[in-house]
């Protein structure tokens, strides 16, 4: 029997257990024998599932019961992601943000308190300050560098701690094991937005984190053509996530799931390139006269480097830089001169991107004070020599405009 067929499992299979991450990514969740030998799980479109007889219908005796509850296409991606995350199960949501909000709704309700990292993805913060607050959940933001000091922020009604490392845009690392230890001692659920590292470079469940969230829109999909979110959970958190998801009536279309699954199969090789090219570009940028510093935890000079090195096994292609002070019109000239780097939100696709950012207006537990304009870049799969040439001419344009 070939390796491929041995590793194929149905929905209950612990797919690829004991195998390497890249092998799991390629094999888990596929069952070609079930689909006449075709390598990929077909796109199954459907709402109604017909039962063969009355008895099976009234006892819900069927592998699939209704479109919204899952079909072979969604199940295939869920099994693959469960193998990759090393958790007990995965729920798919229509976007990364809906994965965040569904997971938070699953773990806290009226009268509860949650702790959220101050460097969190901004729409997560908007949810906590908006709908979550309206439902009676109070949020306290904490300094990403807090570590075991988070114990001082815990109240009798604290139900969850929401982490994201490195921080969105600003790339602070967090001491995940120290925070998880505090949470575990008090029965508090931990959640992490792991979109930056993906479970290829950081495995939250191996560190005891209960819920691991990804915007699959980014690296899983990898081609800037799908919005999808994933929630992986262990233990009792999984049941809570599943019932909340089901109560909210969410579902993801099978075409989007198939595109995400297609992206997933090449995740390991794409990330290896994003890591290598990202580091090369980060080092090159750090040496540029226009750049004050680069925020990238895999650089030995980064304040979060020791933690990154201890807990993570790789770095993706997203990082930031702080420019030396220049007038805004020079920053605008830099961005407008870029030809290979696109200007736009989201990231994790095959293409390089650059955006300006400023966290000053919405931080509450920490202060964002930097010496110059901040730029976030995503290093795609282009030739790094071309990316350097593109940045080089954009910096030249920036200097020209700055010189007036
Ligand atoms: C993009 C992003 C999200 C939201 O994902 P969408 O699919 O765009 O909803 C959540 N968290 C992080 C860290 C992100 O970068």
Task: Kindly name the residue from 24, 159, 218, 397 that is annotated as catalytic.
Answer: 218
Looking at the CA of residue 216, tell me the nearest atom of ligand 1.
7
- Residues with Cβ within 8 Å of residue 348, at least 6 apart in sequence: 195, 215, 217, 218, 219, 220, 221, 222, 224, 316, 318, 378
- 230 Cβ closer than 6 Å to some ligand 1 atom: no
Fold (CATH) for 267-402: 3.90.1150
Nearest-CA neighbor of 183 among 232, 114, 230, 240? Answer: 114
Pick the closest to residue 163 from 138, 191, 183, 187 (CA basis). Answer: 191
- Residue 49, both tokens: 């599932």
DSSP 39: S
Per the listing, tokens 């949501």 go with 93
- Whether the Cβ atoms of residue 166 and residue 303 lie closer than 8 Å to each other: no
388 belongs to the catalytic site: no
pLDDT, residue 143, reads: 98
Instruction: State whether the beta carbon of 256 lies less than 6 angstroms from ligand 1.
Output: no
Atom of ligand 1 nearest to the CA of 227: 7
Please, which residues have CB within 8 angstroms of residue 101's CB and are 6 or more apart in sequence? Answer: 127, 131
Ranges of beta strands (E only) in 305-403 are 318-323, 353-357, 374-378
- CATH code: domain 21-264 is 3.40.640.10
User: 227 CB under 6 A from ligand 1?
Assistant: yes
What local confidence, expressed as pLDDT, does residue 18 receive?
A: 77
Please state whether 188 falls in left (phi above 0), alpha (psi between -120 and 50) or beta. beta
**CA–CA gap between residue 63 and residue 42 (Å, rounded):** 16
Residues of the chain with pLDDT under 70: 1-17
Q: Within 226-327, where are the H helices?
A: 236-248, 254-264, 267-286, 305-311
Q: Where are the domains of the chain?
A: 21-264, 267-402
Choose the residue to mutate in 92, 93, 94, 96 for probing ligand 1, maximizing ligand atoms within 8 Å of C-beta.
Answer: 96
């Amino acid at each position: 029997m070939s390796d491929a067929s041995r590793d194929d499992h149905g929905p209950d299979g612990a797919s690829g257990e004991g195998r390497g991450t890249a092998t799991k990514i390629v094999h888990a969740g596929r069952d070609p024998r079930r689909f006449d030998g075709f390598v990929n799980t077909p796109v199954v479109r459907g709402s109604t599932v017909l039962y063969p007889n009355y008895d099976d219908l009234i006892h819900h005796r069927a592998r699939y019961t209704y479109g919204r509850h899952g079909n072979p296409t969604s199940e295939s991606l869920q099994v693959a992601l469960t193998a990759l995350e090393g958790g007990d199960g995965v729920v798919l949501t229509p976007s990364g943000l809906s994965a965040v909000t569904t997971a938070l709704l699953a773990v806290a309700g009226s009268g509860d308190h949650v702790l959220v990292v101050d460097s969190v993805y901004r729409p997560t913060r908007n949810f906590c300050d908006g709908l979550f607050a309206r439902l009676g959940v109070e949020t306290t933001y904490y300094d990403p560098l807090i570590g075991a000091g988070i114990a001082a922020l815990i109240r009798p009604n604290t139900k969850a701690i929401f982490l994201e490392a490195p921080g969105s845009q600003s790339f602070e690392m967090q001491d995940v094991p120290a925070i998880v230890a505090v949470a575990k001692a008090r029965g508090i659920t931990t959640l992490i937005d792991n979109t930056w590292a993906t479970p290829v470079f950081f495995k939250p469940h191996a560190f005891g984190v209960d819920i691991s969230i990804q915007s699959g829109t980014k690296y899983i999909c990898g081609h800037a053509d799908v919005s999808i979110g994933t929630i992986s959970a262990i233990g009792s958190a999984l049941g809570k996530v599943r019932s909340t998801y089901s109560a909210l009536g969410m579902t993801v279309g099978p075409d989007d799931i198939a595109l995400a699954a297609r992206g997933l199969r090449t995740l390991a090789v794409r990330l290896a390139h994003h890591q290598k090219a990202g580091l090369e570009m980060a080092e090159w940028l750090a040496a540029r006269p226009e750049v004050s510093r680069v925020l990238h935890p895999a650089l030995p000079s980064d304040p979060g480097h020791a933690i990154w090195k201890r807990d993570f096994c790789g770095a993706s292609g997203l990082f930031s830089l702080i420019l030396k002070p220049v007038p805004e019109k020079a920053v605008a000239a830099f961005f407008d001169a870029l030809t290979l780097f696109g200007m736009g939100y989201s990231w994790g696709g095959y293409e390089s991107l650059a955006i300006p950012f400023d966290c000053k207006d919405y931080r509450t537990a920490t202060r964002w004070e930097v010496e110059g304009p901040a730029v976030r870049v995503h290093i795609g799969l282009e030739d790094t020599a071309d990316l350097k040439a593109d940045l080089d001419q954009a910096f030249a344009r920036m200097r020209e405009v700055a010189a007036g």
